[in-house]
Structure 1
Amino acid sequence: MSEDAEEPSDVDVNRQRCELQHCIDASRSESEDAAKTDSVDSDRDDGGAKASALSPVRRNIILLCVAINNTIVWAAIGLMMPFFGGAALKKAPSPSLANHFVIGLIFSIATFVEFLAAPILAKDLVNVGSKLMLVLSTFEISAMMFLFSFVNKIELWSIFLAMCLIIRLVQGISTAANFVSSFSLLVGAFPESNGLVNGVLRCANGVGYAMGPAIGGVLYDVDGFALPFYVLSGVLGINLVLLVMFIPPGSETDLCSVKLKSDISYIQLLSVPWVWMVLINLFITNLIMGFIEPVLSVYLKNSFNLPTIYAGIGFSIMSVAFGAVTLPVGYCVDRSLNPRLMQAVGLFICGISCELVGPAPFLQLPKSLAFCYIAVVLLGVGIGFVAVSSVPDILRTLDAHGLGSPGEMRAAAAGLFQAAVSLGYGVGPMLGSTLTAAVGFEYGTSIVGAVYLLWTVIFSIAAVSSDKLLIVQLENLVKGQS
């Protein structure tokens, strides 16, 4: 064979170089993919390393902005409670049971929509981003508040009802998005303090819910139906600018919305029996909150001849009591206090409060405004116990069953939490309006209180039988008292 034949041609050399470069590129690509996979797995395993890397200043800015936003949003939710029911009844052709039901539906339609929207929105955080969802939902709530100021000018009853329902429907979607994005931002910034984070959110909600009816009652007495909605719409608009300016863009990568994939589903979560127990707790505690909403002001006006502003105080003191216990309960649950024990105590307090607020006819107690307010305060305390301790309980239950990463569980828990809250708060106003019109306020609250106390017994038995740690804590408590 000749020397020319033994030497490779230029074509062969170029082909060999291309094959070698291709192998090098493939090796680099595999290494980069492996590094990305390790990084994602690390993020999923550590449950919040990215969020923990945020500076203390950024974390505190997120906390302050979200807390202020939730306070204002919930003030807007509670704004119409003292006066809308009476104003709507004036437009109704007759004070029939059907019209009472429809007015209750106007209160509750927003929360029914929240019930349906919250789980979907929790999954969509990965596509939208928590900050963007928070900003858009706040804008929509502000716009709906502004539109609601004009409905009282509609004279035709059917059109009035249709406009109210449409506006409240859109507001419900926006409120669900607002809560889910707020929860995502906070648990991403403070992954080690689920109970305290939920306590902060619920405290902000309680403070806003307390301010809303009082503000609504005052402004309604000053200049009628439209003024409360004008004012809250403007405040929400100012708050919207602050959210855009002060929430750091980097907070959009919070853990709850990062890599939220389909490997954890709501069907899996709902297959865990104890999740249902907690969701029922959230449902019935918010049911009584919604139950009281359209009827308490009417009861206080009729029974004690109170003006609108003082009727609104009934809502306010319940919300203040609710907000006052949320942070201490969240702190205790994060440390060592069993969340199931806290829920059982809260349910019992709610049941007793419902029997006292009327008071129940079988108690044969005289009507007293001070006594009614005390019962409402206790009701707010009981609801706070259940609301704050429920989310840590769900998260611990899901973690014990190995369902998903911490970030996925937190986002899913936010959706489930808001769905149960919204369903209870949606059923409550319709039940309150209908049951009160049928049997009266005293008998209606007495019936709800009896259901509470029955469920407290069922829940307590289930908690003791399923939680060995709770049994040990109760035994230690008994030994300490003896």
Structure 2
Amino acid sequence: MDDIDDHIDEVPIIGHDGSINPPTDEQDSNQTQQQSSFTNYQKLTFIAMCCTYLSSMMSFSIIAPFFPTEAEKKDVSHSQIGFIFSVYNLVCFFASPLWGKLIPVIGTKFTFLAGCWVAGGCNVIFGFLDQLESGTQFLVFCYVVRSLEAVGAAASITAAMAIVANAFPDNVAVVMGWLEVFSGLGFAVGPPLGGALYQLGGYKLPFIVQGGIVILILVVNIFLLPGQDSNSSKEMGSFRALFRIPAVWPLSFAILVGSAALSFLDPTLSLHLQQFNLSPTVIGAVFLLVGGCYAIFSPVWGYLADKKRILRLMIVLGFHAAGVAYLLMGPSSVLKLPNELWIICMGLGLLGISIGCGLVPIFLDLLSTAFWYGMPDNLATQSIVSGLFNGMFSLGAFMGPFAGGVLTERYGFPVAASYFACANISVVFVIGLFGVWEYQCGYGRRKPRVKEETLKDDPNERSPLITEAPSWE
């Protein structure tokens, strides 16, 4: 128990409202010095991770402008085409936790590089599927290759998140915020790049170029990233211990809803905007409102999360604003607003800003919570937390378009948007009610722990509800 006490004393204690207790002058000075500059290793690691996030999202989105047309030529139905897109996130959901368990054993660098190699190779292979016979043969190989690509992407992104947590212990949220910029940039650049390459060289060229980019980044990262410390523990992390921590469940629900809120618009927004007789170029620009605002503000939210540590408060405010944004996008009949394009655009911009505020702090919150509850501050814990975050995000990205398409087809876009507004508001209630429970029951990072020596010296000092982290093993 003394080891646990010593470990907890080194972890910043975050209150039920998300605020962190002020550090001592010496701690504040050390933290300021650490945050003022990065080492060369951190800079190289940051560059490698940015390239990976950029290429990963480009690989996912590059097929959007031309693949549906090519698949129709192969006698593939619209629903089957949709599943070719969505199977990527479904496989990532199952693969990410598995990689989170295996990373400490096989190493972060190997997992990261092997994932990039598989994803890049599958990109190239996908470019030759047009040589297959139409119908079942083409469809089955599309599913298989896309699924293998997702396995590789899950490995590289999960390892990347573990590398970030290990390399930037004092700036996790800031770095994750910047990585979301490159993730959004890759998602935005992929479709126009794919369309341009398709027009230039046909079906194969976009996949060969994108696969080549991924493999080139792989070769560069071989020299940028150091190997795993030979003295580090090879023990795998425990998902059982992680899921026995109460805070993990509401935070996982928040990741799921936030990811679904971002991906809901993919199959639904363009159809909703057709009523305004907009050109495809203008519709594309409207889509950029969400991704652009999300990318621009993510580093801001990351800096705020690391600097102020008001994590739970940021999550609540972010999802509350996202619920309002969805009501504006309909616009919902609850607001009794006219169906005007500028109102919809205002809702899209607000969604991009607010959903980042809700999502960016969660990874840091999960890490801090796991450490506080006594899980070791090592690669094993960082890996399973990364696997959990990436898995839940992928599940949300799978469920968002599916639920959005079904609700829009049955009830129309305004009602579907209202349902998603309720989903975002439900996160506010879940996190808020959990915070009240956590405070009343004495679980979680409510206040500084007061040691017995302090209580003996000052009998008027109020004793906390808990004086040590509960053991969940």
**Short-chain TM bin:** 0.7 to 0.9
Question: What fraction of aligned residue pairs are identical, expressed as a percent?
Answer: 26
Gap change, CA 1:152 and 1:131, over 3 Å in 2: same
**Pick from 300, 305, 327: which aligns with 1:355?**
327
1:267 corresponding residue in structure 2: 240
**Pick from 378, 388, 394: which aligns with 1:416?**
388
Q: Please give the secondary structure, in 1, of the residue aligned with 2:374.
A: coil
1:450 and 2:422 equivalent?
A: yes
1:66 and 2:49 equivalent?
A: yes
Using the TM superposition, give the Cα deviation of residue 374 of structure 1 relative to its aligned residue in structure 2, in angstroms: 3.3
Cα distance in 1 between the residues matched to 2:133 and 2:270:
24
**Pick from 137, 147, 167: which aligns with 2:125?**
147
Q: Please give the secondary structure, in 1, of the residue aligned with 2:309.
A: coil
Q: Please give the secondary structure, in 2, of the residue aligned with 1:292.
A: coil
Cα distance in 2 between the residues matched to 1:310 and 1:226:
28
**Pick from 237, 253, 261: which aligns with 1:280?**
253
What is the letter of the counterpart of residue 454 of structure 1?
S
Q: Please give the secondary structure, in 1, of the residue aligned with 2:376.
A: coil
2:308 corresponding residue in structure 1: 336
Q: Please give the secondary structure, in 1, of the residue aligned with 2:247.
A: helix
Cα distance in 2 between the residues matched to 1:371 and 1:223:
40
2:411 corresponding residue in structure 1: 439
Contact 1:344 1:460 in 2 (8 A): yes
**Pick from 95, 103, 106: which aligns with 1:125?**
103
Cα distance in 2 between the residues matched to 1:394 and 1:219:
41
Matches within 5 A, 1:19-418: 56-85=39-68, 88=71, 99-100=78-79, 102-151=80-129, 156-220=134-198, 225-245=203-223, 247-250=224-227, 252-253=228-229, 258-262=232-236, 264-300=237-273, 304-307=277-280, 309-361=281-333, 363=335, 365-418=337-390
Using the TM superposition, give the Cα deviation of residue 226 of structure 1 relative to its aligned residue in structure 2, in angstroms: 4.5
Cα distance in 1 between the residues matched to 2:432 and 2:420:
18
Gap change, CA 1:310 and 1:189, over 3 Å in 2: same
Cα distance in 1 between the residues matched to 2:344 and 2:112:
37
Gap change, CA 1:360 and 1:232, over 3 Å in 2: farther
Please report the TM-score for the alignment, with normalisation by the length of structure 1.
Answer: 0.76
Cα distance in 2 between the residues matched to 1:233 and 1:153:
18
Using the TM superposition, give the Cα deviation of residue 166 of structure 1 relative to its aligned residue in structure 2, in angstroms: 1.4
Q: Please give the secondary structure, in 2, of the residue aligned with 1:156.
A: coil
Contact 1:213 1:313 in 2 (8 A): no
Q: Please give the secondary structure, in 1, of the residue aligned with 2:160.
A: helix
Contact 1:123 1:260 in 2 (8 A): no
Higher alpha-carbon deviation: 151-160 or 446-455:
151-160
Contact 1:345 1:385 in 2 (8 A): yes
Contact 1:188 1:254 in 2 (8 A): no
Cα distance in 2 between the residues matched to 1:219 and 1:232:
10
Contact 2:105 2:235 in 1 (8 A): no
Gap change, CA 1:337 and 1:191, over 3 Å in 2: closer
- RMSD of aligned Cα (Å): 3.3
What is the letter of the counterpart of residue 228 of structure 1?
P
Gap change, CA 1:124 and 1:392, over 3 Å in 2: same
Contact 1:185 1:254 in 2 (8 A): no
Write out per-residue CA displacement over residues 121-177 of structure 1, whole angstroms, 9 at most, x where no aligned residue: 122122322222222211222222223334456563433432222122111111111
Using the TM superposition, give the Cα deviation of residue 337 of structure 1 relative to its aligned residue in structure 2, in angstroms: 3.4
Contact 1:294 1:429 in 2 (8 A): yes
Using the TM superposition, give the Cα deviation of residue 464 of structure 1 relative to its aligned residue in structure 2, in angstroms: 4.5
Cα distance in 2 between the residues matched to 1:292 and 1:271:
34
Using the TM superposition, give the Cα deviation of residue 195 of structure 1 relative to its aligned residue in structure 2, in angstroms: 1.8
Using the TM superposition, give the Cα deviation of residue 266 of structure 1 relative to its aligned residue in structure 2, in angstroms: 0.5
Gap change, CA 1:373 and 1:240, over 3 Å in 2: farther
Gap change, CA 1:43 and 1:75, over 3 Å in 2: farther
Please report the TM-score for the alignment, with normalisation by the length of structure 2.
Answer: 0.77
Write out per-residue CA displacement over residues 157-216 of structure 1, whole angstroms, 9 at most, x where no aligned residue: 433432222122111111111111112222222222222232233232222223223433
Gap change, CA 1:243 and 1:86, over 3 Å in 2: same
Write out per-residue CA displacement over residues 73-110 of structure 1, whole angstroms, 9 at most, x where no aligned residue: 1122222345545665676676xxxx43x333222211
Using the TM superposition, give the Cα deviation of residue 72 of structure 1 relative to its aligned residue in structure 2, in angstroms: 1.7
Gap change, CA 1:66 and 1:44, over 3 Å in 2: farther
Using the TM superposition, give the Cα deviation of residue 300 of structure 1 relative to its aligned residue in structure 2, in angstroms: 4.0
Using the TM superposition, give the Cα deviation of residue 71 of structure 1 relative to its aligned residue in structure 2, in angstroms: 1.3
Contact 1:70 1:201 in 2 (8 A): yes
Cα distance in 2 between the residues matched to 1:254 and 1:379:
44
Contact 2:250 2:430 in 1 (8 A): no
Cα distance in 1 between the residues matched to 2:413 and 2:138:
27
